[in-house]
Structure 1
Amino acid sequence: MGSIPTGPTGAERRLCCSAQRLSGVVSITMTASMLRIVANGGVRRRQRGSIRRRGNSLQVLVYAGIDPLTGQRMYLSDSTTDPDEAERIRTRLLAEVDEQRNARTRATLGAALDAWLRTHEAEETTLDGYRGYIRRSIKPALGAVPIGKVTVQLLEEFYAELRRCRHLCRDGSPAVDHRTTADHECRTVRHRRRPGRPGREPHDCATAGCVVAECPPHRCVPMASSSIRQIHCILSAVLGAAVRWEWIRTNPADVAKKPRQRPPQPEPPTAAEAAQIIEAAWSEDEAWGTLVWLVMVTGLRRAELLALRWSDVDLFGGMLAIRRNYVRSQRRGIEKDTKSHQMRRIALDLDTVTVLAKHRERYEERVRALGEEPTEQAFLFSYQPLADRPMDPSAVTHRYGRTCAKLGIGSHLHALRHYSATELLTAGVDLHTVAGRLGHGGGGATTLRVYAAWVGEADRRAADILGKRMRRPDQPAV
């Protein structure tokens, strides 16, 4: 191959001089490169993309526009050692840019999560749950990944990792599950009595029953399928928002395989266990016994129970109105709509009306003893003398757990809601009525999905009732 000329040739110099002589008034000066283009027959387009050598490999760069978030230029890049493959890579990257299949920003998934939380419309308690999943699981694993590189395979491998260990331990090497993220000693002794207290001799920890608090060695615990599905829903919503904002072109979560959803397995206490729980709660405190009784016979959610005021109770008509929820969010109490965003009224039996009437009498006596008058806006269940603030939700759950633990019964507060539903269904109450008392939407679809086993038992009872009303033709008349 001949060498490439670095200056104008003789023909080019003669053409330039002719142009200057022909101008007459204006002197026209053309560079050597411009004259070469004219000599070659017209304007030549600049080649898009570049291939440059980096060490032993060839790097391909293609301009992909301006990042709308940072204002910086964006380039798609890839590398290879084969010159022919480099040309194919450049063609592929150019096609991605032309067809707008490339990400428009180099922002990370963490930045997209933060932007989505700022704009997503939901209840504050729901957002608190989202923030927890994002802080504990999503950001540590995927927060630094550019959003344009979040693929279907990446999401499914992330879900598989959560099924293996919810703490996202990497290689199974020995580690410690710390009790807290703050600075602490991994092994401390919580003394029942401070050693060396003035006037007494140091005690024996074994005799006094001092507790040793120690950070345990790490143990891989898989995340529940329901929690992984919740994480998938968050990622799907975030990536969907990124598509709307034109950060990315497609949502990989749309085609990612979601974790399987296991059917609900409610575990209500038996009738004998329920009787023991009621008796134990009443022996602790009449107000606490009234609370447990009311949950058993109505199946109220915890948030609905704590939001009840005396204005919601009709003792003469035997009716209870459920209008609100009471929840805690970021250490503050919030009253909001019910889960179905609808008010409902349920009937109360005579024994429950009697229990609530006595509970009302105790409230009025306590308030008048303080020199105040009872009010209909007071809460049914409160630790405050004037009942002007409801019980803390977590405190109620923990107290119920302690009550059951003393009896050796494995149960939780929400299991009382299951108890109410299953007792009604097995007694033959129709599905629509049970769904209405529980506050389930969808005309009973949720009730049927959760309590399918007990619906089946009620159906068998219905079959027996119908069969007893019929007489077989071969059966002699009585």
Structure 2
Amino acid sequence: MTEALAGAPDKQPRKTKAPKLRDGVMKRGTTWSYVIRVRDPETGESKPKWVGGFATEDDAKAARDEARVKARRGEYIDRNTVTVAEYLAEWIEGHAVEIKPHTLKGYRDMIRLYIGPRIGNVRLQALRPAAITKFYRDLLTHGGRKGGPLAANTVKHVHTVLRKALTDAVLVDELLPNNPAERAKLPRTQATEPGMIWTPAQLRAFLATAQEHRLYAFFHLAAYTGARRGELLNLRWTDVDLDKPQIHITGTAAVLDRQRVEGTTKSGRSRVVSLDAGTVKVLKAHRARQDEERLKLGESWKGGHAYVFTTGWGEPVFPDTPSSLMPKLIAAHNKQNPRSPLPHARLHDLRHIHATTLLMAGTPVHVVAARLGHADPAITLRVYAHVIREQAATAADIFAQAVASC
């Protein structure tokens, strides 16, 4: 036995077979990889690109085939493991300077409350239109507080932020070949259009009640110019020309982290809005009252002569003040006039009443758009499509009557 063992030849260690590359796919350790040749757009040279980490050979082959097609089209993008949350964190910081503070806060909220918790862990390059469509559906059905529905407008805001970010991922950072949010489907919701919340008579009744309040001129100006809340609260007396007469809207005031902040208008452009004789009288009376308050307080007055709308101490009015005041004025009117109560309306509805009244009176759309500060009359057409349709319905009769009267 011993001699037999002694005479036996030594056992040679088995040679490990080197992994074989088959049509651009091979196994490396426990995962699969593929390699393709990609032309460098700057040098024109063709170089090999290895991509690994696939669980099965079929997964690697499928990814290889897709990569080959993109490489031939010049659309190939290197594989990246960055997640949606990681990309959005860098993206929002990169835009912190150029986005208005109030808008930036809204973007951060959309990312923090909705995008991050649901699809933040998804690899950016693995995000598909179908997944985004399902994400929107989930938000609409149970994305709100305590698992309740989320407002359709909020879902649209989420879509806006995600689409903007992914557009930069395509065009700026070159991490994606295309934007999956562009092909995702937003849930269908019933379109809502601002209607005639109040009739002209109801508006007059509201303003009659508001006339006793020191901010009456604010509500009057909001109704008679269609300007936004922040635009009026940003207004200085140097922006008011009672001789022409007109106001020059140059910026806006908003609330950010419970602080009053100022910035440019929503469109980023200033505009001039004409005033009627009645509004001129209201503003003159308002200025006289403000002058009396300033003289009465003397050195305690804090605002100088700058702002049109101020507190009793001269400081600029906080943006939430007129919004919270409006329902109180409506309630006061309804208490005094129980037989002709006013329906509920928001401060922003004064803007809609202004636009709707002008359009119903036949004012050209581009004129209304200019007063409202819409960057394009197409926005006015879309928002007030119901009014335009009503006007179109009477166009035939107007033409017939014009011809008959000649």
TM-score (norm 1): 0.67
Partner of 1:394: 320
Partner of 1:229: 156
Secondary structure of 1:308's aligned partner: coil
Q: Equivalences for 1:456-475 in 2 at 5 Å?
A: 456-459=389-392, 464-471=397-404
Structure with max Cα Rg: 1
Partner of 1:255: 183
Partner of 1:272: 201
Partner of 2:32: 61
Partner of 1:316: 243
Q: How big is each residue's C-alpha offset from its partner over 1:344-375, in whole Å with a ceiling of 9 and x where there is no partner? A: 22222221111111111111111122336999
Separation (CA, whole Å) in 2 of partners of 1:453 and 1:89: 52
Separation (CA, whole Å) in 2 of partners of 1:64 and 1:306: 62
Partner of 2:61: 91
Q: How big is each residue's C-alpha offset from its partner over 1:368-404, in whole Å with a ceiling of 9 and x where there is no partner? A: 2233699985211111523xx3211122212213323
Secondary structure of 1:49's aligned partner: strand
Q: Give the 3 Å change call, closer, same or farther, for CA 49–320 of structure 1 in structure 2.
A: same
The answer on 1:118 being equivalent to 2:98 is: no
Q: Where does structure 2 lack aligned partners over 5 or more consecutive residues?
A: 1-10, 37-49, 335-341
The answer on 1:164 being equivalent to 2:98 is: no
What code does the residue aligned with 1:270 have?
T
**1:331, distance to aligned residue in structure 2 (A):** 3.2
* C-alpha contact (below 8 Å) 1:60/1:77 kept by paired residues: yes
Separation (CA, whole Å) in 2 of partners of 1:280 and 1:307: 25
**1:261, distance to aligned residue in structure 2 (A):** 7.1
Q: Give the 3 Å change call, closer, same or farther, for CA 463–353 of structure 1 in structure 2.
A: farther
What code does the residue aligned with 1:454 have?
V
1:341 aligned residue (237, 262, 268) = 268
* C-alpha contact (below 8 Å) 2:78/2:175 kept by paired residues: yes
Partner of 1:106: 81
More helix by share: 2
**1:328, distance to aligned residue in structure 2 (A):** 2.2
Q: Equivalences for 1:270-419 in 2 at 5 Å?
A: 270-283=199-212, 285=213, 287-371=214-298, 377-386=305-314, 389-406=315-332, 407=334, 409-419=343-353
Percent identity between matched residues is: 30
- Number of corresponding residues: 362
Partner of 1:21: none
Separation (CA, whole Å) in 1 of partners of 2:390 and 2:61: 66
Q: Give the 3 Å change call, closer, same or farther, for CA 237–425 of structure 1 in structure 2.
A: closer
Moved more, 310-319 or 137-146: 310-319
Partner of 1:18: none
Separation (CA, whole Å) in 1 of partners of 2:234 and 2:99: 20
2:364 aligned residue (430, 434, 457) = 430
Separation (CA, whole Å) in 2 of partners of 1:97 and 1:467: 64
* C-alpha contact (below 8 Å) 2:217/2:286 kept by paired residues: yes
Q: Give the 3 Å change call, closer, same or farther, for CA 464–50 of structure 1 in structure 2.
A: closer
TM-score (norm 2): 0.77
**1:111, distance to aligned residue in structure 2 (A):** 0.6
Separation (CA, whole Å) in 2 of partners of 1:462 and 1:374: 55
Partner of 1:29: none
* C-alpha contact (below 8 Å) 2:19/2:28 kept by paired residues: no
Q: Give the 3 Å change call, closer, same or farther, for CA 460–248 of structure 1 in structure 2.
A: closer
Q: Give the 3 Å change call, closer, same or farther, for CA 252–7 of structure 1 in structure 2.
A: same
What code does the residue aligned with 1:151 have?
R
* C-alpha contact (below 8 Å) 1:164/1:221 kept by paired residues: yes
Q: How big is each residue's C-alpha offset from its partner over 1:122-160, in whole Å with a ceiling of 9 and x where there is no partner? A: 222211111111111111111122223222221111111
